[in-house]
Amino acid sequence: MRDLIGQDVDSELAVLVGQSLVDQIATSLRRDVERGTVKPGDKLPSENELTRLHSVSRAVIREAVAVLRSEGILEARRGVGVFVTDAEQQGVPFSGLSLERISSVIELLELRAACETEAAALAAGRRSPAQLETILNLHRKVGENLENGLSTRDADFALHMAIAEATQNRRFPELLRLIKPGIIMSRDLQQGRGQPGTLTPNLHLQEEHAKIVHAIFAGKAAEAREAMRAHLEGSLSRYKMLLIERVSPPGPTHSELGG
């Protein structure tokens, strides 16, 4: 692992001078990946080992790794470690999504709030009779799953996809397909993995969906836009509360999620 502490330091010293410690470590690790010293799929040394090799604090290592994760060069696998991502996936949009990270879902909800609100408005004015029937059937399916205690993930995604398709603009469903891996959070994360503060099923999901569907049915674009906005912003707020719960001491609070 000598390369991980930066061989050829003399030849690179001029580049590193003036950089912060975080930037220096990030640059060193990035070059190791670019040169093939560490290859796609390789696991990085532990945080403690990197701290020893680079003679810096753990906080510096964490920040440097975070920089490379944001660039798509590294990925953290919960409970396993940090790995070099597949080179073919580096720079690919949404390739760094992780169902284990609430932050990934929050990022996607912010993106969805920016585009799905307009999709709902367009669908209200453009949906065909067949598309409207599909939307109504999927809304009913989500409700049935909720009543029977079944997962709503697939029906929920299908409903949002049907609304996107009813815009008659293929780019809306294309976007949803692209971000599908993280669009509906995994049941493990929804249910809190049995941790204190275990989450209850989303009691607002069907009510929020109903407002969207009814507005589309009535052909009211402004109401559909507002209903979708309220739905996604409500989900965003609930996930942020969950994120706070995860980093706060255990308590009796219960969050309600939906997407």
Given this model, what pLDDT does residue 245 score?
67
Q: What CATH number does the domain located at 2-89 have?
A: 1.10.10.10
Question: Can you list the residues of the chain whose pLDDT is less than 70?
Answer: 1-19, 86-104, 181-203, 243, 245-259
How high is the pLDDT of residue 72? 75
Q: Please report the pLDDT score of residue 130 as a whole number.
A: 94
Find where tokens 């999620």 sit: 257
Quick one: pLDDT at residue 93? 60
State pLDDT tens for residues 93-121: 665 555 555 666 777 888 888 899 999 99
Residue type at 204? H
Q: Would you mind telling me the total number of residues written for the chain in this entry?
A: 259
pLDDT value of position 191? 44
Model confidence, pTM? 0.58
Amino acid in position 52: R
d(CA 103, CA 109): 10
In angstroms, rounded to a whole number, what is the distance separating the alpha carbons of residues 156 and 143? 10
- Nearest CA to 221 out of 127, 114, 123 is that of 123
Please report the pLDDT score of residue 159 as a whole number.
Answer: 95
pLDDT of residue 33: 85
Q: Where does residue 189 fall: left (phi above 0), alpha (psi -120 to 50 degrees), or beta otherwise?
A: alpha
CATH topology of domain 102-247: Four Helix Bundle (Hemerythrin (Met), subunit A) (1.20.120)
Distance CA 90, CA 75 (A): 10
Show me where the domains of the chain are located.
2-89, 102-247
